[in-house]
Amino acid sequence: MKRRDFLRNTALASGALMIPAFLKPFEAMAMDGITGYKNLVVIQLSGGNDGLNTVVPYGNDIYYQKRNTIAINKPDVITLNEMQGLNPALSSLKEIYDQGWMSIINSVGYPNPDRSHFRSMDIWQTGSESNQFLTTGWIGRYLDANCATCKNPYTAIEVDDSLSLAMKGAKMKGIAVEDPYKLYQTTREPFFKELVHDHTDANLNEDNLGYLYKTMAETYSSASYIQQTSKTYQVTGEYPATPMGNQLKTVSKFINSGLQTRVYYVSLSGFDTHVNQQNQQERVLKIYGDAVTAFIKDLKKTGKLDDTLVMTFSEFGRRVEQNASNGTDHGTANNVMIFGGKLKKAGFYNDAPDLAQLDNGDLKYAVDFRDVYATLLDKWLDVNNSQVLGQSFKGLDFV
């Protein structure tokens, strides 16, 4: 492996330190931007969330036949219509749904699904075909495709300590920032600071360690911009004291402080529920639902909800029939949840999953996940989806 390739693929380059423009002051670049642009927040539920026990088809007897011990009892379902309702752990989202700030897209998947966590997550993060292996993510390629405001690294921020494949492009990448102050302090350590200031354009050759110095210098400037901008706003909304609550509180801080970021990415794990599913899933669903509810209410209060869209996905759903361990095994199609203040079609976007017509015990997908991405790209991020997805997708009408 070439030295430059090694550096490009290390945590140093691919996480919080991967930024695209060498030594250009971020503070100066912030002056020429616009305000009032649209924000996209992507929430990843890792482990393959069981969609049927999340958005419960309580009106379908087949659901109770297939899940005789783990089905959500009808009296406990948070009813949304005569067929479907929410897991009781998501009770906080009922208010969001009733306000018209939530849309549920059922049976989302892709052809020839893969039941491996890693492979299916790669497919979702890259936007690839099931037999196609890509090394860039769909958000990273959005940065590469380049709308006018995509020149800065903080155009896409993952609130974490490492960067997901979804955020990595061929030319540009997002930046991972779990705590803006800690990142700022790290880049102000004497060793880091000296390296940044001791190297100039003259000795930064693409074939040697120049790539590393370039990355460090860009991180130095980026950390300053993010810290100095975000510290101007104090979040007043009340958030649960959970990791996801803290992540979304940080996103709120970034949005409301005027940080020029278009895409935010957060994740929550714990959804691989093969054994004794109910308690485990309900625990993580409550963490998710309470954090999202706090976030949506906060953005509504600050006037940012109309300019923000939130999408929640998981790499696959679970099989329709429960297993012998009171859990569920890896399946295929799943639901996607969309939140925002300007939804074109709130409530249920499409029909409930068909539990009678299965594919070897699994749900058949009705919506290609790339049509969801195409909608976000075309109608929200103002980039032609074919530039990012490699082919043209029609998209949907939820926004």
Residue span of the structural domain in which 81 resides = 40-183+246-389
Work out the end-to-end distance of the chain between its first and last CA atoms, rounded to an integer number of angstroms.
45
Give a yes or no: residue 298 inside a domain: yes
How many other C-beta atoms are found inside a 10 Å radius of the C-beta of residue 241? Answer: 7
Please state, for a pLDDT cut of 70, what percent of the chain lies above it: 83
**Residue 106 included in any domain:** yes
pLDDT at 147: 64
In a domain, residue 169? The reply is: yes
In a domain, 146, yes or no: yes
Sequence-ordered list of residues with C-beta below 8 angstroms from that of 131, at least 6 positions apart, any chain = 112
* In contact, 346 and 102? CB cutoff 8 Å: yes
**Quick one: which of 290, 272, 268, 289 has its CA closest to 281?**
272
Reported as a single tens digit per residue, the pLDDT across 336-390 is 999 999 999 999 999 999 999 999 999 999 999 999 999 999 999 999 999 999 9
Q: What is the DSSP string of 312-348?
A: EEES--B-SS--TTSS--B-S-EEEEEEETT-SS-EE
Side by side, the strands of the sheet bearing 78-79 are 55-56, 85-86, 78-79
- Tell me how far apart the alpha carbons of residues 245 and 250 are, in angstroms, rounded to a whole number: 9
Sign of the torsion formed by the C-alpha atoms of 152, 210, 176 and 231 = negative
H/E element, 26: helix 26-29
pLDDT for residue 6: 44
The answer to whether residue 12 is domain-embedded is: no
| Chain-centroid distance, C-alpha 4 | 29
Q: Residues 172, 150: contact at Cβ < 8 Å?
A: yes
Helix (H) or strand (E) holding 124: helix 117-126
In a domain, 110, yes or no: yes
Q: Which stretch of DSSP H or E encloses residue 108?
A: strand 102-109
User: Which pLDDT value is given to residue 252?
Assistant: 98
User: Is residue 212, in this structure, part of any structural domain at all?
Assistant: no
Whether the model pTM is above 0.75: yes
DSSP one-letter code for 177: -
CB proximity list for 393: less than 8 A, separation 6 or greater: 368, 370, 371, 373, 374, 385, 386
Position 189 scores a pLDDT of: 77
Contacts of 189 (CB under 8 A, 6+ apart): none
Domains identified in the chain, total number = 1
Give the integer Cα–Cα distance in Å for 51 and 365: 13
- The interaxial angle of helices 210-230 and 243-257, nearest 10 deg, is 80
In-domain check, residue 216: no
Distance between CA atoms of residues 166 and 127, nearest Å: 9
The one-digit pLDDT tens for each residue of the chain (399 residues) are: 454 454 444 433 334 444 333 333 333 333 333 446 799 999 999 999 999 999 999 999 999 999 999 999 999 999 999 999 999 999 999 999 999 999 999 999 999 999 999 999 999 999 999 999 999 999 999 999 876 667 777 889 999 999 999 999 998 888 899 999 998 888 787 766 676 666 555 455 554 566 666 667 667 777 889 999 999 999 999 999 999 999 999 999 999 999 989 999 999 999 999 999 999 999 999 999 999 999 999 999 999 999 999 999 999 999 999 999 999 999 999 999 999 999 999 999 999 999 999 999 999 999 999 999 999 999 999 999 999 999 999 999 999
User: What is residue 218's predicted lDDT score, i.e. its pLDDT?
Assistant: 67
| Domain at 325, CATH number | 3.40.720
Buried b (16+ CB within 10 A) or exposed e, 156-189: bbbbbeebbbbbbbeebbbbbbbebeebbeebee
Distance CA(187)–CA(179), nearest Å, equals 13
Say what the pLDDT of residue 197 is.
66
Q: Residue 316: its pLDDT value, please?
A: 98
Half-sphere exposure of 96 (CA within 13 A, CB side): 30
Structure tokens at 231: 């510290």
| Structure tokens that stand for 125 in this block | 């993060």
